[in-house]
Amino acid sequence: MKELLIYERAPQQGTLIPLFAEKIHAGFESPAADYEEARIDLNDYVSKYPEATFFARVTGECMVGSGIFPDDLLVVDKSLTPAPGDIVVGVLDNEFILRAYYRKGSQEYLMPDNPYYKPIVRNESTQFQIWGVVPHSILDQRRRNSARINRFEQLLR
């Protein structure tokens, strides 16, 4: 998907900084040349620790309440320790699962954010691990167009 490509990891040599974007006619230097800055890099915004940052794709709907829909892209930061309320990628039964981490007293839960799904409690038979914390998710807004249109239709009816 074209829109998603900007989220790909920046090349290792760092960000390319445009030195002189335009050819300047001899004699007149751009008055803005000294003020040129590197463009905004989303990598800096979504991950504090690039070496510990991975990406993941979502399937399923248990986190729609948090605005995470099927096919969305997740930023997973393994350097973060989960705090209650954090969305996490966990491992349960050899599978990556998406849930919100919650702790109450000594009890640990992986909570869905969708009333149709059940909480997972950590106990002897259910031993989940936390693989990483999801600080950001990337929703492809254009893929939600038809869902939006349906809502508009109902509103106009």
Alpha-carbon torsion 32, 38, 39, 40, what sign? negative
Considering CB under 8 A, how many residues would be counted as binding other proteins?
37
Q: Where does residue 21 fall: left (phi above 0), alpha (psi -120 to 50 degrees), or beta otherwise?
A: alpha
Burial of 120 (0-12, 13-18, 19+ CB in 10 A): middle
Please pick, from the candidates 42, 46, 73, 139, the single residue that binds other proteins as defined by CB under 8 A.
73
Task: Pick the piece of the chain touching other proteins (CB under 8 A) from 17-25, 28-36, 51-59, 146-154.
Answer: 51-59
Q: Does 21 bind other proteins (CB under 8 A)?
A: no
Please pick, from the candidates 51, 104, 154, 156, the single residue that binds other proteins as defined by CB under 8 A.
51
Taking CB under 8 A as the rule, which mask of x and - marks residues 75-104 in contact with other proteins? ---xx---------x-x--xxxxxx-----
DSSP 114-145: STTS--EE--SS---EEEEEEEEEE--GGGGH
With tokens 């007149």, the residue in question is 28
Please pick, from the candidates 74, 82, 101, 133, the single residue that binds other proteins as defined by CB under 8 A.
74
Which stretches of the chain bind other proteins, using CB under 8 A?
Answer: 4-5, 7-9, 11-12, 49, 51-52, 54-63, 68, 70, 73-74, 78-79, 89, 91, 94-99, 112, 117, 131
